[in-house]
């Protein structure tokens, strides 16, 4: 097998070619993006994350006072700060002074609670940290309704994904209340007790040795004929 090695300088040139030529037209006028990476490119999030990792390390290294913990997911950062409010403001100003286009906003713990992504991190009586699912104040508890014209697998995935999120994000103290809350929400969206229980307590799958299908058929979902046709083709 023949292998052709690409010199690092060519790799850098290829990255630059993919990330920089971004042109678009608006009202007959052509524009070029002059800062940041190409919008819509699959490579852009990876490169942006590389840059932010370097940004994090340099920013913390140069800071006069440093956080105890610094966790970042994309553009959200969770920080534990032991040096008081005044020095925290100084640290925020330090971060925002590194790059004009990278500016941080700050939310601090209120009444022992701090939301981070889909998690509400809260302080317990013994000062340890607990965690549970966080719902925004504008959340309406409206999901794909049971009577909507969708395949049953799509409806089941709504229930199972929310149950999976609860089991993943909640600590032991908050799991049961969250599942009770989801049960009521699912009922409000038209789901039966059997459907809800199947999502909360899925059946254990057994290993089966089956022949691989010779071909695959794709059908548009129509409520009256989809089930019969899929069983016939199976």
Give the residue extent of every domain in the chain: 44-111, 133-200
pLDDT band with cut points at 50, 70 and 90 for residue 3: low
- Report whether 199 contacts 190 (CB < 8 A): no
Element (H, E) at 70: strand 69-73
In this prediction, residues 22-28 reach a mean pLDDT of 87
pLDDT in the model for residue 219: 73
Query: How sure is the predictor about 12, in pLDDT bands with cuts at 50, 70 and 90?
Result: confident
Give residue 16's pLDDT: 81
Please tell me the distance from the alpha carbon of residue 169 to that of residue 163, in angstroms, as a whole number.
Answer: 10
What per-residue confidence (pLDDT) applies to 11? 81
| pLDDT at residue 15, rounded to an integer | 81
Rounded average pLDDT over 213-228: 76
pLDDT of residue 210: 64
Backbone angles phi, psi at 153, to 5 degrees: -65, -35
Going by the DSSP 8-state scheme, the letter that residue 199 receives in this structure is H
User: Which pLDDT band, with edges at 50, 70 and 90, does 191 fall under?
Assistant: very high
Q: What average pLDDT does the chain have?
A: 88
Which of 128, 132, 156 lies closest to 144, judged by CA? 156
d(CA 141, CA 212): 40
Per-residue pLDDT, 143: 95
The pLDDT of residue 2: 63
pLDDT band per the 50, 70, 90 thresholds, residue 36: confident
User: Whole-model pTM above 0.85?
Assistant: no
Confidence of residue 166 (pLDDT cuts 50, 70, 90): very high
């Amino acid at each position: 097998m023949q292998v052709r090695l690409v010199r690092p300088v060519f790799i850098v040139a290829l990255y630059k070619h993919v990330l920089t030529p971004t042109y678009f037209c608006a009202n007959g006028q052509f524009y070029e993006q002059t800062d940041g990476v190409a919008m819509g490119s699959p490579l852009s999030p990876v490169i942006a994350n590389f840059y932010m990792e370097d940004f994090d390390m340099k920013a913390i290294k140069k800071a006069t006072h440093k956080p105890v913990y610094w966790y970042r997911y994309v553009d959200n950062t969770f920080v534990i700060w032991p040096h008081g409010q005044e020095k925290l403001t100084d640290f925020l100003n330090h971060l925002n002074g590194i790059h004009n286009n990278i500016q941080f906003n700050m939310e601090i713990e209120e009444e022992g609670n701090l939301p981070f992504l889909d998690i509400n991190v809260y302080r317990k009586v013994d000062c340890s940290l607990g965690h549970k699912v966080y719902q925004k104040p504008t959340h309406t508890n409206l999901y794909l309704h049971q009577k909507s014209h969708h395949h049953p697998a799509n409806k089941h995935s709504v229930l199972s994904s929310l149950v999976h999120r609860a089991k993943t994000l909640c600590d032991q103290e908050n799991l049961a209340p969250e599942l009770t809350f989801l049960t009521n929400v699912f009922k409000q969206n038209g789901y039966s007790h059997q459907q809800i229980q199947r999502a909360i307590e899925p059946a254990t799958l057994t290993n089966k040795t089956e022949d691989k299908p010779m071909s695959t058929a794709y059908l548009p979902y129509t409520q009256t004929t989809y089930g019969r046709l899929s069983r016939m083709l199976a």
